[in-house]
Amino acid sequence: MLYSLIVKPIPEILAENRFIILFDGLCGFCDSCVDFVIRHDARGDFKFASLQSELGQRLLQHFSFPTNYFESQVLIENGKVFRFSTASLRIAKKLGGGWPLLYVFIFLPRVIRDGAYRYFANHRYQWFGRSESCRIPSSEIQSRFIE
């Protein structure tokens, strides 16, 4: 495939995509969250890549994360990185409907928010399952995935 020979530089990818969500492509809950964001992001602001993908791995390295970092989704917003509860709340703030109201929880101490996030994240495979491979986006939503 010609694409594999042409690799866009990370600064170019970041310039073209203001909001990138890196998600655990093996996590059933994470896949559901991607679908949820796509349904509620009417403007199509968010773009997606799995943490396990080639691009996800390059972005992790670019932002000095280990390539086996799968403990949280990562939001890259205008070149800045957010993770754990802050990423989730910043995503909710950009969605349609009443979801931006959840952003009020940003005022809770981060240690409390992130503690709850980490507890959930540590049990997500147990509660929602784990896939053997990353999802392949359907043709209807293919354009929302960077890679």
pLDDT digits (tens, 9 = 90+) for 57-87: 999 999 999 999 998 999 999 999 999 999 9
Closest C-alpha among 77, 83, 27, 88 to residue 52: 27
- Span 91-102, pLDDT tens digits: 999 999 999 999
What one-letter code names the amino acid at 110?
R
Show the tokens assigned to 136.
């392949």
What's the pTM? 0.89
